[in-house]
Every structure is written in structure tokens, then in C-alpha cells.
Structure 1
Amino acid sequence: MTSSARQPSTPVEAILGLGSNIGDLRAQIDCAVAALHATPGLRVTRHSRYYRTAPWGETNQPSFLNICIAVETTLSPRMLLETALRIEREAGRVRRERWGPRIIDIDILFYGDEVIDEPQLHVPHPYIGERAFVLVPLADIAPDRMVGGRTAREAAAAIDRTGIEQLDWEVHL
């Protein structure tokens, strides 16, 4: 287990999941990706396709738009989390209910191969293997990444994809 405050001496690949289901979904996700890329010590390297997805957890809400991105970062895991939370706040996100509607959500799925279990920071993200809206875009950018004993590609192929629709939108980095 690693301390989330330790800043790496060389860049680490982290994988983030982003989602939105309030307002202009694509604009909010693209703005969040741009804000992440503009952060000193962080560079977006890969971007999945866009997926329209059914809500998970609390299902009485609009569909989501979801993506995964890979970044190279010299930010510590805790600093990366603080950056994600700041970008969410600046976009107008207010946390009212767990798994409820949101303008933007940025989750740290992986931070290198580290395992972190601290208050508000659990890496790898504990629900990756249960969520098609994470596994399907994750398989786009990191198909060989291990998730619960299988590759992301294998896990995405095995999960129920009901409610997952790939959108034919151009990806810009």
C-alpha cells in the first residue's frame, strides 16, 4: 500500500473515468479533460470513445456520457484527487446524493500499479469490475490493464452492456 501524499520522481500513468448527465454533457467532459491537460504536472495521453450510458446506482435520472482518459502525471495521488475535485467544483458540481445526477464526475481508476486505501481515496477504484460504463471505455485505452484477474478487454466483453451506446464523435486531444 502506498501513501497518497508521495509525489513520484518520474511520471506515472493514471487512468481516470469521467461522466456527466446534466446540461451539455460533451462540452462539460471536454472542458474537464482540457482543464486536466492544462494542469502543471499532468498530460492527457489517451482518450476513449464517448459512450452514452444508462445510470447506475440511482437509476431514476438522465443517461450519462462517459469516457476514460490516460494521463502521465508527476502529481501525487492525493494531489491528483484534489485537482479532480477542484475541476468538478469549478464546473459547478454540488454533491447532493450518492450516485445522483452530476454536471461532471472525475474518478481516479488507477494510479500506476499502486494500491491506496485511504479516506476518500481508493485506488484502484473499487467498483471498476461492476460497471460497464467504466469497463467499456477503459478497454478502449488500456485493453490489457488487469481488472479483477482479467484484462479490461475480457472484463468488458463479459459484462452486461445493456444501456451502453458508443457515439461516433471525433476525439480531440
Structure 2
Amino acid sequence: MGTALIALGGNVGDPAVTMQQALSWLDHHPRLQVVAVSRVFSTVPVGTYAGGGFVNAAARLATDLPPLDVLDLLQEAEQRAGRERTLHWGPRTLDLDLIGYDDLVLSHPRLQIPHPACWYRRFVLDPLAEVASDWQHPVLQLSVAELLDRLRPRPLPITLDLPGILQQELQSALSTAFPGQLKICEPGEQSALSLTTKASACVRAIPVDPASSAAALVELVRAALDEPRPLP
């Protein structure tokens, strides 16, 4: 049996109940078993149109299904929960992401494993650490616990390697949005993450479209700075 790691989230209706119902439905599949589930965490919304606060969790599954079949099941569970895909980073009843599958590295038009943004998103890492802290990111060669520890320091050291005007706009926007929470590193300094438009960037960088707005990039950093809180 393989091990699949999934992230769960939502901010419409009663997401905690919706997530539990989805996990129960998945657990009844003859070729999939829910092995461990994290606590439910309160997290900040990420994205201009995300809506109100989110709740997030993670689960470890045992399955002999191939990754794309697991993805199909996750999307079916989302549909059963009334998920509507109208806005990118919009409000949602249920969001299920396949974060990792054993030590597999997969690039497919429908699915990338490991999830390309899992390594810097606190709303993924904090719950995931409760069910798979030792799982090692097969590209970064760091465990979930190690990835999480990299994001804990305050101010958080980050590197910006962007075209001139975008760099200036983002530095100003970050200072306004997160006063005292970030240290902008000089080139060559060690940092927890970097944002860059360079295609040859290291694997620990967030790739940025040169046409991105500073406001959109602020939301990427927000995901790294959040400090999720377990719900009672």
C-alpha cells in the first residue's frame, strides 16, 4: 500500500463538518483507508477574493490506487460537498489537495506531486506535521518538520529577485502588510524562501510571473507568515 498525504480546507458553511464527512466517504472506498487525521486549524484567508477565515486539516491515507485515481476521488468528494470553481483562490465549501504520494515526483497536466506550493504554506504544513512530520519532500530533501521550522523565525528572512519596478512595489507592499515580520535579504544571504522570475531558480524559490501584481505576491508571502491555531 502506498501513502498519500492530503490537505483539506474550506471557509463556506461548516467546513470542519464538511471535511469530516469527506474523510468518512473516502474511508469507505475499498482501496483507500484514512489512517490519521490532524486537528482542525484556523488560518488566514489567502487571496484577494478568498473571503473569510479558513479552517484547514491534513490526513494520511493508505491506498493502492495510482495518484490520478486518488485525485479523481478527491475531486468527486469536493463535488459532493458542493464545491464550485468560479474564482481562483475564492471561497469554497471544501478544498482537497494531494500533497504527496510516498517519494513520488510526478509532473502531469492534471497533477504535480509533490504539490508545488506545499513547502511554504503554513496552512498546509502545520496540519501535515501532525500526521506526517517525518515525510521527506522528495525534491527539497527536507522533512515536513524541517520545512515548518524554516518558516518559524521572526522576522522571516526572504529574498526578492524581481524586475526593478516590481521589486520596489513589492518591498513597499510587504512593509505595509507585515510590519516587522520580514527581513529582506541581500543576494547570497541565506533565507527561508525567495521569489524570483528566473527560470533557472533553485528549487526552494517561488516562481513568479513577471506580469504579477505586488498585491498578488503579498498573498504568497501571507501563506508563509500565517500562524495557524488549532480549534478547540
Q: Report the TM-score range of the alignment, normalised by the length of the smaller protein.
A: 0.7 to 0.9
Q: Aligned pair in 2 of structure 1 residues 59, 94: CA closer, same or farther (>3 Å)?
A: closer
Give the equivalent residue in structure 2 for 1:164: 228
Q: Distance in 1 between matches of 2:48 and 2:136?
A: 27
Q: Structure 1: state its 5+ residue gaps.
A: 1-10, 169-173
Q: 1:53 & 1:69 partners in 2: Cα distance?
A: 17
Which of the pair has more CA radius of gyration?
Answer: 2
**Which of 6, 22, 33 is the equivalent residue of 1:43?**
33
Matches within 5 A, 1:39-118: 39-58=29-48, 60-118=50-108
User: What is the rounded CA distance, in whole Å, between the counterparts of 1:117 and 1:98 in structure 2?
Assistant: 21
Deviation at 1:149, TM superposition (A): 3.1
SS of the residue 1:94 aligns to: coil
TM-score, normalised to structure 2, is 0.65
Please give the root-mean-square deviation of Cα atoms over the aligned residues, in Å. 1.4
1:68-91: CA deviations, max 9, x gaps?
Answer: 100000111111111111111111
Equivalent residues, number: 158
Residue 20 in structure 1 maps to residue 10 in structure 2: yes
Percent of aligned positions that are identical: 33
Aligned-partner Cα distance in 1 for 2:38–2:16 = 13
Structure 2 unaligned residues grouped into runs of 5+: 152-223
Whose relative contact order is higher, 1 or 2, with alpha carbons under 8 Å and at least 6 apart?
Answer: 1
TM-score (norm: length of structure 1): 0.86
- Cross-structure match for 1:30: 20
SS in 1 for 2:112: strand
Distance in 1 (CA, whole Å) between partners of 2:50 and 2:21 is 26
